[in-house]
Structure 1
């Protein structure tokens, strides 16, 4: 079994991104190696280690780690972690975990797809890819309930304007009246936009139910399953 680096982290900042999502900045006591798209586990107890995707990319060249924690009233699993961080000002973590990291040595057209706070996973991948020499089409589809939930909307639009190979596609379940963009389920928006997914790598994060349906329907659309990456697929 692989041994993972564990380190104590100082909680340097917790700030709201939406009513329920918080950005957490951690300062590890020692460097914690990871690849873009991997996650860390917050140690709540010897047998209780809770995974959170890193929003940080290795190319950020920072000493801190960034998490986006959705801790609404119905999510005690995440809320307990946030409460511990607020109370203690420190936390032990280990990582990096996960096999759904960026395949940097195999450049090809890529679709990043996220539902809700699954965005933090795709954000790490996106930053890492844009820090390199992107010569193939790169898409990010992000689905949220409302526009207010899409806390990086302006930043992503700016990135799309400044990178000719990158396109950002926001998808809303409950769009405002003047909305002219995509609506409904985020994976359906992908299916609508591509004749075939055969040429693409797809990196995906979101609810297990969505991941399972997307795998089946993307495969029917031509996606080679070995080119589909997501932590959910270790469990479903």
Structure 2
């Protein structure tokens, strides 16, 4: 797959450690919702980041990059973008993209894994507005759910979309769900035999979720996540 040169359109903070990056490719890049790009830092140094915008929005590439001082892997990419104003990428990569089979969709995200589910959510609402979609987004703290207000408003506008935020370490004034994000799904779905599930987050979360969802009857062909290519 050939490289595409991109201009860095904007880098803006979403939280203290998460940044929204907008790349403008020299030519529209074809990709499917749920795929990722590789940022080419060197001939043998290609770093994956999920695409946050939908496939129909192909004039740009949106990334949500978590880059604190302990994460040199991502911080170096942001530094290159800021210093040069451009970056080489390739994509779309990955097989965990949105599949259309008419089943209700459950999206599960931990942290910045949200960008993967956000792409799928936008595409699903655009292409299949009558298909039920539920997004479960988990974070350590409420502030980590950086599009909380936007998703709440989106759910109010779309009767077939539900947003379920899950906070691991909640303050006393938090009235929503708490704990592990995939446990919230288990609490709401006695069976997953008639659902598609798309999941992004830490590998250990994805593995635990797969084991638990298999016990709830999910068909292997209806469980998607880039992690499952490695675990």
Match of 2:63 in 1: 67
Deviations 1:75-103 (A, max 9, x none): 11111111111111110000000000001
- The answer as to whether partners of 1:172 and 1:184 remain within 8 angstroms in 2 is yes
Question: What SS is found at the alignment partner of 1:125?
Answer: helix
Deviations 1:168-197 (A, max 9, x none): 000001112111111010011111111101
Match of 1:188 in 2: 183
Match of 1:214 in 2: 209
Question: How many residues in Structure 1 have an aligned counterpart in Structure 2?
Answer: 231
Match of 1:46 in 2: 43
- The answer as to whether partners of 2:51 and 2:62 remain within 8 angstroms in 1 is yes
Does residue 89 (structure 1) correspond to residue 89 (structure 2)? The answer is no
Question: What SS is found at the alignment partner of 1:148?
Answer: helix
Deviations 1:190-232 (A, max 9, x none): 1111110110000000011100110001111111121100000
Structure 1 residue ranges without an equivalent (≥5)? none
Question: What SS is found at the alignment partner of 2:162?
Answer: strand
Deviates more, 1:202-211 or 1:220-229: 220-229
Distance 2:52 2:5 in 1: 18
Give the superposition deviation at 1:145: 0.9
Does residue 156 (structure 1) correspond to residue 118 (structure 2)? The answer is no
Deviations 1:150-178 (A, max 9, x none): 11101111111111111000000111211
Deviations 1:8-54 (A, max 9, x none): 00111100000000000101111211000000000000011000000
Distance 1:136 1:65 in 2: 26
Structure 2 residue ranges without an equivalent (≥5)? none
Aligned pairs (5 A) from 1:127-142 = 127-142=122-137
Runs of 4+ in 1 over 4 A off after TM superposition: none
Distance 1:199 1:33 in 2: 30
Q: What is the CA RMSD across the aligned residues, in angstroms?
A: 1.0
Distance 2:89 2:29 in 1: 9
Question: What SS is found at the alignment partner of 1:199?
Answer: coil
